[in-house]
């Protein structure tokens, strides 16, 4: 090959490498270089967020999901992100450790969110979303685990990952998306219908809202149904990291690294899916190192949020205007 050709080829390769590195750098820093939403505290239905306590368990290092119990007073559940093992942790509203449970019949490849659900017979469950993906979205199938919510006793506080309490075996719902492979960090269950909602996470496009019937059949892989695109008033507008549906089934709280965003169903609507068409209200969630978990209190009058990191704050925003 002539020398001049080699030189041109070498320059071409260097340019391609430079562009690739620049693109990768842009993707990795897009949140840090993003724009937070504007916020008007005078119009907010929530008081200024306060640190209710700090998570005291040193085992909780990456609180990635949060769920207030619908059956037990002052019990809040959380879990770590990927590579921790199938553990869930109970804390109270001040962050005090109430115990560690190992979820039977489950593994934690990339747990991203959890939520609580109380059925028509008064039995409470926890849903855990194995819904994350690799950087290249290599996974085409995801799982949702459902367990009967463990009863928390005072004597459970001494349990640890090395000596956990075992849950009942988890039921498993395997699912895929109808359009493309997705990454998601938001799992929600409607308190009345029991339908499951997944909100995907995107850096450059709106997030997608997908719905699943609660079909926990180990022989099936359920196909989720896309029902909406979702954006929040921040940049990036689809980089969503957690969410929950209020106990009354009429409000939804979603968060990103900047803030929370509450969607409210119109009073004259009986179709919950119309909530995704509404303009969200920005909810201040305070300072979070990396906020990936948000959820309503059992009575729906507060919003709790946590952050990744050891001994992270448990933040509470109390509603001053009743829904």
- What is the pLDDT at residue 301? 97
pLDDT of residue 32: 62
Over the stretch 231-261, which tens digit does the pLDDT of each residue have?
999 999 999 999 999 999 999 999 999 999 9
Q: Is 261 helix (H, G, I), strand (E, B) or coil?
A: strand
Give the distance, in angstroms, between the CA of residue 183 and the centroid of all CA atoms in the same chain: 11
Q: Are 221 and 175 in contact (CB under 8 A)?
A: yes
Residue 204, phi-psi category: left (phi > 0), alpha (psi -120 to 50), beta (remainder): alpha
Give residue 21's pLDDT. 35
| pLDDT tens digits, one per residue of 204-229 | 999 999 999 999 998 999 999 999 99
Contact 94, 156 (CB under 8 A): no
Q: Do β-strands 97-102 and 113-118 pair in parallel, antiparallel, or remain unpaired?
A: unpaired
**Residue 319: strand pairing partners:** 46
**What pLDDT does 145 receive?**
98
Alpha carbon distance 30, 182 (integer Å): 18
Which pLDDT score is estimated for 59? 97
Average pLDDT of the chain to the nearest whole number: 90
The confidence score (pLDDT) of residue 42 equals 86
Q: Omega into 236 within 30° of 0, i.e. cis?
A: yes
pLDDT in tens, the chain (323 residues): 444 344 443 433 333 333 333 333 333 344 567 899 999 888 899 999 999 999 999 999 999 999 999 999 999 999 999 778 999 999 999 999 999 999 999 999 999 999 999 999 999 999 999 999 987 888 899 999 999 999 999 999 999 999 999 999 999 999 999 999 999 999 999 999 999 999 999 999 999 999 999 999 989 999 999 999 999 999 999 999 999 999 999 999 999 999 999 999 999 999 999 999 999 999 999 999 999 999 999 999 999 999 989 999 999 999 998 77
Planar angle of CA 174, 64, 194, nearest 5 degrees: 45
| pLDDT for res 8 | 40
Helix (H/G/I), strand (E/B), else coil: 273: helix
Q: Rounded to whole angstroms, how far apart are CA atoms 203 and 208? A: 12
How high is the pLDDT of residue 321?
Answer: 81
* Tens-digit pLDDT profile for residues 82-115: 778 999 999 999 999 999 999 999 999 999 999 9
Query: Would you call 318 exposed, middle or buried from its count of C-beta atoms within 10 A (0-12, 13-18, 19+)?
Result: middle
Q: Which domains does the chain have, with CATH numbers?
A: 31-318 (2.120.10)
* Cβ-Cβ contacts under 8 Å for 164 (sequence gap 6 or more): 87, 100, 101, 102
């Amino acid at each position: 090959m002539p020398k001049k050709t080699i030189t041109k080829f070498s320059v071409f390769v260097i340019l391609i490498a430079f562009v690739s590195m620049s693109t990768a750098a842009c993707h990795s820093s897009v949140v840090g270089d993003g724009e937070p939403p504007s916020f008007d505290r005078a119009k907010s239905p929530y008081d200024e967020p306060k640190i209710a306590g700090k998570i005291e368990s040193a085992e909780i290092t990456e609180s990635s999901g949060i769920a207030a119990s619908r059956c037990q007073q002052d019990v809040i559940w959380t879990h770590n992100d990927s590579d921790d093992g199938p553990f869930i942790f109970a804390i109270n509203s001040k962050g005090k450790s109430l115990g560690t449970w190992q979820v039977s019949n489950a593994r934690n490849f990339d747990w991203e969110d959890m939520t609580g659900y109380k059925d028509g017979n008064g039995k409470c469950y926890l849903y855990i979303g194995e819904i994350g993906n690799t950087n290249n979205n290599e996974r085409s199938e995801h799982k949702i685990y459902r367990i009967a919510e463990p009863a928390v006793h005072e004597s459970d506080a001494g349990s640890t990952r090395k000596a956990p309490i075992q849950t009942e075996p988890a039921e498993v719902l395997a699912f895929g998306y109808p359009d493309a492979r997705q990454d998601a960090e938001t799992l929600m269950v409607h308190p009345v219908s029991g339908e499951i909602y997944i909100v995907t996470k995107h850096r450059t496009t709106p997030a997608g809202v997908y719905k699943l019937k609660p079909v926990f059949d180990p022989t099936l892989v359920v196909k989720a149904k896309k029902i909406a695109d979702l954006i929040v008033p921040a940049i990036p507008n689809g980089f969503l990291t957690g969410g929950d549906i209020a106990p009354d089934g009429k409000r939804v709280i979603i968060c990103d690294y900047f803030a929370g965003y509450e969607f409210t169903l119109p009073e004259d609507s009986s179709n919950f899916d119309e909530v995704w068409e509404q303009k969200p209200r920005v909810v201040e969630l305070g300072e979070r190192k990396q906020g990936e978990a948000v959820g309503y209190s059992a009575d729906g009058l507060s919003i709790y949020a946590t952050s990744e990191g050891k001994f992270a704050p448990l933040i509470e925003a109390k509603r001053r205007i009743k829904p």
